[in-house]
Structure 1
Amino acid sequence: MSAGSAAARALPREPTAHPDADPGPAALMDCLMGFVRTHALRAALAAGLPEALGERALSAGELAAACGAEPRAMLRLARCLAEAGALVQTADGRFALSAWGHGLRAGVPGSARAYVEYVVDHVVPSARHLPELLRSGRAGAPFERENGRDFFAHFAGDPAAGAAFDAAMAATLAAVRAAVVEQDWAGVGSVVDVGGGNGSLLAALLDRHRHLRAVLAEQPHVLPGAARVLDAAGVIGRVRLQECDFFTAVPAGADRYLLARVLHDWDDGSALRILTAVRAALPPHGRLQVVELVLGRDSGWTMAYDLMMGMLLPGHERTAAEWRVLLGAAGLVLERIDPAGWRGSILTCRAAPTGPGLRA
């Protein structure tokens, strides 16, 4: 062996992936670093990173200049986001938005920006009180401990927080909106959106199906914002805005009812009261469509989401079997479950002929 070849063999090499003898600690650390990735997404939004990139690729230095950031810190953020999948790093070291990273941009179809802001700003702080949920078993207790009042009172009483919540809910509904809108509505003349929030789902539905007329049934403080959304969409002439306490009664006689991301906010007793009110309003030919997650269809993500809901609200996510029991107790029969967008489902129900108490 020559001296030259020995020297060549002694040169340092690029590091390779570490072959962990025991993958357990590595998996633990991967799980633990989830909070860093969460906050990295929020920091990227605050810095304007998604808009700076747009459809192009930039070096970390160029990205730092565009965002007014320190170059080394931007490199660290970009590398973390690339590892998380929000960015991709090109062969020459530049960074670009990934396919789903484009959803962090404002104003693009399917943007999740508002939901990221809502989760980090208004949900994550309650996570430190998760032991309170474990101790008491009372869903929603962590949020109350963090904010001094329950979830709905907080967002109703703080206009800025309420606007952030409404924007986030509109963003999450965007993932299932297409599935709802693109159903067969040919034989349907009227629809009631129960707890329809800011009206974004109804706006898309009425814009796509010009023959429909609708009722948005909501709390009084929500209706003015919904009116603006529906007016901007040019469909408000076909919508009646109606104050509603969905625990007691909802507008009667429509061909189809929607409960989109409503029931998971409530425990079984409260959800049953809502469903019973809808059942009382539902004509024999009518259908109720419940838009929710179904636990177990994507066990890793939905189980984590269910725990997050327990930090915030009295409700919880439900399995298909739990949905059948709850709906049956309200006098409803679950006809089918269809996928709806990203990890959502549409549960289509009809009235049971014998009324409340029937088990489907």
Structure 2
Amino acid sequence: MMTTDIRPDDFFKLTCASWISQALGIAAKLSIADLLAEGAKSVEELAQATESHAPSLYRILRCLSTVGVFHEVEPRHFALTPLAEYLQSDNPYSLKYLAITNIDEWRWRVFGDMYHTVKTGEPAIKSVYSVNNYWQYLEKNTEPNLIFSQSMFGIAQNCQIQLLKSYDFSKVGKVVDIAGGQGLIISAILKHNPHLQGLLFDMPETVFDAVKFLKAEGVDERCEVVGGDMFKSIPSGGDIYLMSYIMIDWDDDSIVKFLENINYAMPKNGKLLVIDPVIPVDNQYHWSKWEDLYPMCMGHGLVRTQAEFKAIFRKSGFELVNIFSPEKPLSLMELVRV
């Protein structure tokens, strides 16, 4: 029967966790953290500034204060907390748009159909929007695409870039960033390692906008931009090849295909760096286990264990030789050719 150390309210917290996401996203959309940058304010002041209903706004902020986002310093007056600072627009590590995209209507509808995925194996996004994956949806919907892209920018600042700052590039001459988008990751690598040359590779329509971004970051003279299809061929000439947060979106067969292309393009003594979540094999909480529900509903990818990654790498002609920060949401894996 019931155990004495588990209370019903522990279960209530789990069943109502989606309310936290909603409240967090609403605070982000209203820019509450920006309004508190100079100090605590009353709910009435915040409601006036955001053109909101003060009693309802108070109830949202009161809830968020119970999970460490904002602090009610006196009745109906709220201040920032360290967690709330992630919602500030001018914070270089801001995750404001991650909170907003998580409550975007299209995502809410997809995850609301997760039961369909569990019963049939078909991604919920296909049953809801008649597309095969979330990229196809975003290509047709400009505003959700922009919000999603900004959320990925925030994740990269907090995760991928921090992992790569600790990696030793001192004996490397050139890094090739595969599916590197507009160049955020490669520009950060180049700025942190002034001796390096870079190559940004992605679809032609994606890298078209990258030239302007790389110039704004001051690395355009050290970074070549190449458009193409990673399923057909990969540019040669790199010492290190990088795939950052890409494999989560693809099935095993697709990964093997583009890894074989990388293997063909790489020099014999080259290395491949892969950044992706890695699921630990235990019953403990790890963000990667929850993140796996995203590709389950949004396409045909998945989050993998270290053993599953090793099997794919081996099939593609690679060997995993190092894994850095497996306890974090994203890990850095170092591969060499077999």
TM-score of the pair, normalised by structure 2: 0.91
- Residue aligning to 1:183: 167
The answer to whether the aligner puts 1:261 opposite 2:245 as a matched pair is yes
Find the partner of 2:9 among 11, 17, 26: 26
Partner of residue 315, structure 1: 301
Pair 340,301 (structure 1): closer, same or farther in 2 beyond 3 Å: closer
Residue 332 of structure 2 aligns to a residue whose secondary structure is: strand
Which range moves more in the overlay, 156-165 or 236-245? 156-165
**Partner residue, 1:71:** 54
* Residue 224 (structure 2) aligns with: 240
Using the alignment, how far apart are the partners of 2:109 and 2:205 within structure 1?
26
Does the Cα contact within 8 Å between 2:279 and 2:286 map onto a contact in 1? no
1:110-149 per-position Cα deviation (integer Å, ceiling 9, x unaligned): 11112222222142220121122112223xx211222232
1:144 and 2:144 correspond: no
Selected match of 1:344 from 301, 314, 330: 330
1:330 to 305, 316, 319: 316
Structure-2 separation of matches of 1:137 and 1:160? 29
**Structure 1: 5+ residue runs without aligned partners?**
1-19, 353-360
Q: 2:255 aligns with which of 271, 280, 283?
A: 271
CA shift, 1:249, in A, is 1.4
Alpha-carbon deviation of 1:305?
Answer: 1.0
Q: Which amino acid aligns with 2:144?
A: A
* Contact 1:52 1:67 (C-alpha < 8 Å) held by counterparts: no
Shift of 1:300: 4.2
Overall identity of the aligned pairs, in %: 24
Shift of the 90–342 alpha-carbon distance from structure 1 to 2, 3 Å rule, reads: farther
**Closer, same or farther in 2 for the Cα pair 1:341/1:86, shift >3 Å?**
farther
* Offset of residue 68 of structure 1: 2.7
Q: Spell out structure 1 runs of 4+ moving beyond 4 A.
A: none
Taking the TM superposition and a 5 Å limit, the aligned residue runs for 1:206-217 are 206-217=190-201
Amino acid at match of 1:172: I
Does 1:135 find its partner at 2:143? no
What pairs with 1:218-229 in structure 2 (closer than 5 Å)? 218-229=202-213
Distance 1:102 1:57 in 2: 13
State the number of aligned residues: 331
Equivalent-residue separation in structure 2 for 1:147 and 1:165 (angstroms) = 17
The corresponding residue for 2:24 is 41
Q: 2:145 aligns with which of 162, 165, 175?
A: 162
Give the partner amino acid of 1:346.
L
- Correspondent of 2:181 among 197, 209, 230: 197
2:129 maps to a residue whose letter is: N
Distance 1:219 1:119 in 2: 26
- The alpha carbon displacement at 1:22 in A equals 8.2
Residue 68 of structure 2 is aligned to residue 85 of structure 1: yes
Q: CA deviation at 1:342?
A: 5.0
**Counterpart secondary structure, 2:168:** coil
Cα distance in structure 2, aligned partners of 1:291 and 1:109: 21
Distance 1:348 1:321, change over 3 A: same
Cα distance between partner residues in 2 of 1:207 and 1:107:
21
Per-residue CA shift, 1:272-309, capped at 9, x if unaligned? Answer: 11211111111122110000111128634221110122
TM-score, structure 1 normalization? 0.86
The offset of 1:95, in angstroms, is 1.6
Cα drift, residue 253 of structure 1: 2.8
SS at match of 1:77: helix
Partner SS for 1:120: coil
Q: Over aligned residue pairs, what C-alpha RMSD do you find?
A: 2.1
